[in-house]
Amino acid sequence: SKEKGGNSYHYYHPDMNKRSLHKLNLEIHLRKALERGEFRLLYQPLVDLKNGTIRGMESLVRWQHPEWGMISPAEFIPLAEETGLIVPMGNWILKQACLQNKAWLEQGYNPLCVSVNISAIQFHQPQFVSVIEETLQESGLDPGLLCLEITEGVAMNSGPHVMETMDKLKSLGVRISIDDFGTGYSSLSYLKRFRVHTLKIDQSFIRDVTSDEDNAAIVTALIAMSRQLKITSLAEGVETREQLEFLLAQGCDEIQGYVFSKPVSAQEFEEMIRQNKQL
């Protein structure tokens, strides 16, 4: 980090100062944001390519600051991870997502699986599995309707602790998705060992899948591999009809992206399922 200097003397750099002040300011506000109820969840549909219907939704957190407006997770999640605030924040997100999914089920909508992003810091907490268990109990949600999105980096770090946690989660009955698949170290033997439910093919491969032959080859191979391993393939960041056609032709199972819907408020999402929105 830029703050590392040891004993060495360095000049005061005005830009650096501004940046660390900004960060400090952000951190102070972030600490208060949870108790002030400034976080909210958006939901983005996950769509079945076989019949064009909504199968589930990914919850994506936003910080609605009273003066600064909407702040993107790319800005505050890294800071939340650095400060450990991601743990209480992540617990709140999990609870919120489960309660919302349960509420929709009780209103009579078709069962949907809600996906929740789990940070590496959360995953490695000794209490992580019991937090999941408690959240399911408190919300009354069927474990099969909760999916934890874990990045390749976390999941493939195959220490004994990771293996144990993954096994416990599987025996709880929750689903596991490998997020941003293709961007980290992939271990195919690992996929076989854990039988994860879904591989989310990273949007960087999808972006120019119709113009870049290499990306097309990678995506084709990932979809074929998923099918062989009986793992659901999901393409992230699908924006165009052309990308959709390509994925359909390759036999991809599910998609997520602006071509169907951007992430929306709970209210707007409910409107979509009420109207049975289809691809």
Task: Please compute, for residue 49, the number of CA atoms within 13 A of its CA located in the half-sphere on the CB side.
Answer: 24
Q: Considering the complex, state which of residue 180 and residue 270 has its C-beta at the smaller distance from ligand C2E.
A: 180
* CA distance between the termini of the chain: 45
Q: Closer to ligand C2E by CB, 59 or 233: give it.
A: 59
CB of 108 to Ca ion, least distance (A): 28
Q: Which does 258 bind (CB under 5 to 8 A by kind): Ca ion, ligand C2E, none?
A: ligand C2E
- Cβ atoms of 262 and 239 closer than 8 Å: no
117 belongs to the binding site for Ca ion (CB under 5 A): yes
> Which option in Ca ion, ligand C2E, none does residue 152 bind, with CB closer than 5 to 8 A by kind?
none
- Pick from 49, 93, 178, 235 the residue near ligand C2E by CB under 6 A: 93
180 binds Ca ion per the rule CB under 5 A: yes
Nearer CB in complex with ligand C2E: 193/241: 241
Site for Ca ion in 205-244 (CB under 5 A): 236
Residue 174: how many CB atoms within 10 A of its CB?
24
Count CB atoms within 10 A of the CB of residue 63. Answer: 23
Q: Is 38 in contact with 63 (CB distance < 8 Å)?
A: yes
Check residue 72 for interaction with ligand C2E (CB under 6 A). Answer: yes
CB of 47 within 8 A of CB of 279? yes
Q: Does 179 bind ligand C2E (CB under 6 A)?
A: yes
**179 lies in the site for Ca ion, by CB under 5 A:** yes
Q: How many CB atoms lie within 10 A of CB 237?
A: 19
Q: Count of CB atoms within 10 A of residue 7's CB?
A: 4
Q: Does 117 bind ligand C2E (CB under 6 A)?
A: yes
Alpha helices in 65-177 (DSSP H): 73-83, 86-106, 120-123, 128-139, 152-155, 160-172
Q: Which stretch binds ligand C2E (CB under 6 A): 99-107, 159-167, 210-218, 232-240?
A: 232-240
Whole-number Å distance between alpha carbons of 87 and 29: 16
Q: Given the rule CB under 5 A, which residues bind Ca ion?
A: 117, 149, 179-180, 236
Residues that bind ligand C2E (CB under 6 A): 44, 59-61, 72-74, 77, 90, 93, 117, 119, 179-180, 203, 237-239, 256-258, 263
